[in-house]
Chains A and B, each alone.
Chain A
Amino acid sequence: MGLVTLEFIEFCIVVTAVYYFLPGILQNLWLLGVSVYYILQSEAPVRTLIFLGGVTVIVYLAGLAADQSREGRSTLKKAVFLAALLACLGFLLYFKYQNFLIDVLNLVSPVKSAAAGTGAAVVSGRPHVSIAAPLGISFYTLQLLGYLIDVYTGKYQAERNPLKIALFGLYFPQLTSGPINRYNDLEPYFAARRKFDPEGIAAGALRFVWGLFKKLVISERAAVLVNTIFGAYEYYNGLYILFGVSLFAVQLYTDFSGCMDIVMGASKMLGIPMAENFDTPVFSQSVTEFWRRWHITLGTWFKDYVMYPLQKSNLLQAIGDKSKKAFGKKKGKKVPLYLAMLILWLGVGFWHGGAIKYVIGSGVLHFTYIVIGRECKPLFDKIAALLHIDTETAGFRLFRRVRTFFLVCSGFMFFRADSVRMALGMYRSLFSWNAGILTLSGLTGLGLDLQDIFVLVLAIILLLFVENIQQKTDITKAIAAQNLPARWMICLGLVFATMIFGMYGANYDAASFIYANF
């Protein structure tokens, strides 16, 4: 059941309507039941249910056994924890990265066979396998592992109620694309009866519709132009490439954050606010800030569960001590930090998929920008002082935002391209001048007519306007503070704009989200 379908909207309405008539414990049972129903509507329902159920049971039992707050032998706890951790990561590797592992194996140990006819020895690779990964595996594996690590490291006690853990693992709004929730954030909502809250439901519904607007009016429209350019990149160069990758940034953002608005809205209607994944990243003034505001729950997960333990490990501490002796305290302490950061970014890149283009475009490139930004800050400050540049002006902030946008886009080029070779080819084309996109025929020759382009531009302006309000205040509260007619106008205006200008139907693949593939 796709998130952008009438079926899902009807599903959410029925789930919410029944939910508020039920007592507390039945509310959780109801949510678990409808979540199982939701999974059964997915592409590989039985495999997803068995896998997700299995991982949830493993994590529940391992959590009880490895709980640091309970009596017991620490070696046994460690063994149980490591076994569960390896099992969950093993499943993830098997389903998501088996072809990557096959590629690595082919590289390390090529298979030799006799060529037909001549009998000469030839090197041939092991073939790729095709097993559909269970729905949302990369998201809930990290989420459940986060719980297990928290329990093992004593952040909070293991949950004894299996229903709560089952709900934490299977809760339908988070299944396909996250956010990657923390158990201690959601547990208080699972513990108490959720009371009927008309304002919460209205706010959730409005956010749901805003997500549909972003996805159907902006993302799907931008996708037409992006697909034209990336689909035949050999024929485009110069500003076309710049336009294509910039518009892909808009497409990806409205796709992913639109998806988040839909699921957060659905969850809010159920009285369960989930962790925010975006905080108006378009206004970021540095790559570091961008990653604090983009896919927040993934970044904080890797920071808390990968980077921090690495930084605290004896190995990196020893490296830090040696590098402090060699380079001095200030420079030396950066060595373990940057090593841990590099591993974090390799992990983030690899999480997106077992392909080098993700490792570069969503990992190493951003690591490089962040390190350069940190190391060159004193130099940039000196240059600004020398040239008497006031870095606090609105103009300079805008410059930083535009610079950050294009730095991020440079990574998105790899993300969107089919391969590293294609991305590099597009970079080469970028530097051959072609300003045809600036002409009317050049612009309308990419698959959208002038009217659609006009709608796209207006919708992006509306998005920027809303995001600008969002970064200053809670827009939900701002809307709730309006008079009833104004609230209805906003809500109905958004619904009709989505219905009239949304791109859905037989010719579009609006049901799929980019991040649902991860």
Chain B
Amino acid sequence: MSRDEVYEVLDEVFQDVFDDDSIMVHDDTTADDIEDWDSLEHINLIVAVEKAFKIKFSLGETTGMKNVGEMVDTILKKLG
């Protein structure tokens, strides 16, 4: 899967989790950029991403990713 393809799936996941069809994520997107992405919604997002890509993030990855770019790096690494 290419980086662009990962982003296509991620956009859909973010739009679905946060109920906002206008959301488009990129490398620098952080929780500050999306209104409903707070610490309480974070795991709902992580689980939705895991289901979409059929992968599992470790706890360290769950709390350690600083932006969507790092999330995509981790996804690509896991997809091998």
Q: Which residues of A contact B (CB under 8 A)?
A: 68, 149-150, 153-156, 303-305, 307-309, 311-312, 317, 330, 333, 337, 340-341, 374
Q: Once the chains bind, are A341 and B40 in contact (CB under 8 Å)? A: yes
In the complex, what residue of chain A is closest to B60 when comparing beta carbons?
A155
**Cα(A153)–Cα(B58), bound, Å:** 6
A303: B residues at CB distance < 8 A: 39
A374: B residues at CB distance < 8 A: 40
Number of A-B residue pairs at CB separation under 8 A: 45
Q: Once the chains bind, are B40 and A337 in contact (CB under 8 Å)? A: yes
| B44 touches A (CB below 8 Å) | yes
* B: interface residue count bin: 10 to 19
| B61 touches A (CB below 8 Å) | yes
**Cα(A225)–Cα(B47), bound, Å:** 51
| B79 touches A (CB below 8 Å) | no
Q: How far is the CB of B35 from chain A (nearest CB, A)?
A: 12
Q: Which residues of B contact A (CB under 8 A)?
A: 19, 39-40, 42-44, 46-47, 58-64
**Cα(A150)–Cα(B59), bound, Å:** 8
Other 18 A-B pairs with CB < 8 A, given A150-B60, A153-B58: A68-B58, A149-B59, A153-B59, A153-B60, A153-B61, A155-B58, A155-B59, A155-B64, A156-B60, A305-B59, A307-B43, A308-B42, A308-B43, A308-B63, A312-B46, A337-B40, A340-B43, A374-B40
Q: Once the chains bind, are A312 and B62 in contact (CB under 8 Å)? A: yes
Q: How far is the CB of B44 from chain A (nearest CB, A)?
A: 6
B19: A residues at CB distance < 8 A: 330
**Cα(A305)–Cα(B62), bound, Å:** 11
In the complex, what residue of chain A is closest to B63 when comparing beta carbons?
A304
* Residue from the set B39, B58, B59, B61 with the largest chain A CB neighbour count within 10 Å: B59
A341: B residues at CB distance < 8 A: 40
Per CB-CB distance, the 9 closest pairs between chain A and chain B, nearest first, are A155-B60, A153-B59, A311-B43, A153-B60, A154-B58, A153-B58, A154-B60, A304-B63, A155-B64
**Cα(A311)–Cα(B62), bound, Å:** 11
Our pick among A68, A155, A333, A340 for the contact of B63 (Cβ within 8 Å) is A155
Q: How far is the CB of B47 from chain A (nearest CB, A)?
A: 7
Q: How far is the CB of B39 from chain A (nearest CB, A)?
A: 6
Q: Once the chains bind, are A317 and B47 in contact (CB under 8 Å)? A: yes
Q: Once the chains bind, are B44 and A309 in contact (CB under 8 Å)? A: no
Q: How far is the CB of B80 from chain A (nearest CB, A)?
A: 16
In the complex, what residue of chain A is closest to B59 when comparing beta carbons?
A153
**Cα(A171)–Cα(B34), bound, Å:** 39
In the complex, what residue of chain B is closest to A370 when comparing beta carbons?
B40
Q: How far is the CB of B38 from chain A (nearest CB, A)?
A: 8
**Cα(A192)–Cα(B50), bound, Å:** 38
A305: B residues at CB distance < 8 A: 59
B43: A residues at CB distance < 8 A: 307-308, 311-312, 337, 340
**Cα(A303)–Cα(B64), bound, Å:** 13
In the complex, what residue of chain A is closest to B39 when comparing beta carbons?
A303
Q: Once the chains bind, are A308 and B59 in contact (CB under 8 Å)? A: yes
**Cα(A341)–Cα(B19), bound, Å:** 22
